[in-house]
């Protein structure tokens, strides 16, 4: 494939943000009179978003009660959005090679745009990333392809010349519905153990393998 546009998932694919999310969640947990959670408790659901993490933290509360904790959780996270978050091994090298090949890259994530923007900036990618679509940019999130289609329009790239890279089945479903090449990648997040079940067009054991397929 000769891609002129490569679009990525953010959490679990480009960046390991689990520790920062855990720290923010535990501020809420402790304030609610519960013991802090270990990282192992939330890592399986980090890529599913804030509400999924609140379900893990407060399984005995109903949805309405948990919803009241959503904005406080997001506020705690915003205050320390990337203190411990880092790119996964091989990400920087891969992005440089994509750029050296004359291709452009961007991000389509379910993370709220204002939070994703802060993470991207903290990684030093703000001027390099060609497009950033957040979970609140449009009415529908992944696996709906709406965000992916918007990203391709902003890149001015045809689906036949674009690939989407992610570590979760929802990423593959979105890419398929958007008629782009779908690339699953193994990550530290448990979602990557399920990505093969979604039958991506290509599966990578590590992200550095990506440029070999350009």
| Domain range summary for the chain, segments of one domain joined by + | 5-16+85-213, 18-79
User: What are the distances in angstroms from CA 27 to CA 73, 76, 140, 153?
Assistant: 8, 7, 29, 40
Q: For domain 5-16+85-213, give the CATH number.
A: 3.40.50.1000
Instruction: For residue range 123-148, list pLDDT tens digits in order.
Output: 999 999 999 999 999 999 999 999 99
The b/e string for 195-213 (b: 16+ C-beta within 10 A; e otherwise) is: beebebbebbeebebbbee
Give the distance between the most distant pair of CA atoms in the chain: 54
- Residue 191: the pLDDT is 65
**Average pLDDT score over residue span 173-200:** 89
Helix (H, G, I), strand (E, B) or coil at 75: helix
Q: What is the pLDDT of residue 207?
A: 93
Whole-structure pTM over 0.85, yes or no? Answer: yes
Predicted local distance difference test score (pLDDT) of residue 20: 97
> What is the C-alpha to C-alpha distance for residues 133 and 20, in angstroms, rounded to an integer?
21
Q: Which residues are catalytic?
A: 9
Cα–Cα nearest to 109, from 80, 143, 86, 85:
143
pLDDT per residue as tens digits for the range 18-33: 999 999 999 999 999 9
Angstrom distance (rounded) from CA 204 to CA 108? 19
């Amino acid at each position: 494939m000769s891609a002129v546009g490569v679009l990525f998932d953010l959490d679990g694919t480009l960046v390991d943000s689990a520790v920062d999310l855990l720290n923010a969640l535990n501020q809420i947990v402790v304030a609610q009179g519960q013991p802090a959670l270990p990282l192992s408790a939330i890592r399986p659901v980090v890529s599913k978003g804030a509400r999924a993490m609140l379900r893990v933290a407060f399984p005995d509360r109903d949805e309405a009660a948990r919803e009241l904790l959503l904005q406080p959780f997001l506020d705690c996270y915003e205050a320390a959005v990337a203190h411990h978050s880092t790119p996964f091994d091989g990400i920087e090298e891969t992005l440089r090679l994509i750029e050296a090949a004359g291709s452009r890259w961007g991000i389509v994530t379910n993370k709220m745009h204002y939070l994703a923007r802060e993470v991207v900036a903290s990684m030093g990618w703000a001027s390099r990333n060609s497009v950033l679509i957040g979970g609140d940019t449009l009415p529908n999130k992944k696996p709906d392809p709406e965000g992916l289609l918007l990203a391709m329009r902003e890149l001015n790239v045809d689906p036949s010349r674009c690939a989407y890279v992610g570590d979760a089945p929802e990423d593959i479903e979105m890419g398929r519905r958007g008629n782009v090449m779908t690339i699953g990648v193994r990550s530290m997040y448990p979602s990557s153990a399920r990505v093969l079940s979604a039958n991506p067009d290509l599966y990578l054991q590590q992200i550095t393998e990506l440029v070999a397929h350009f």
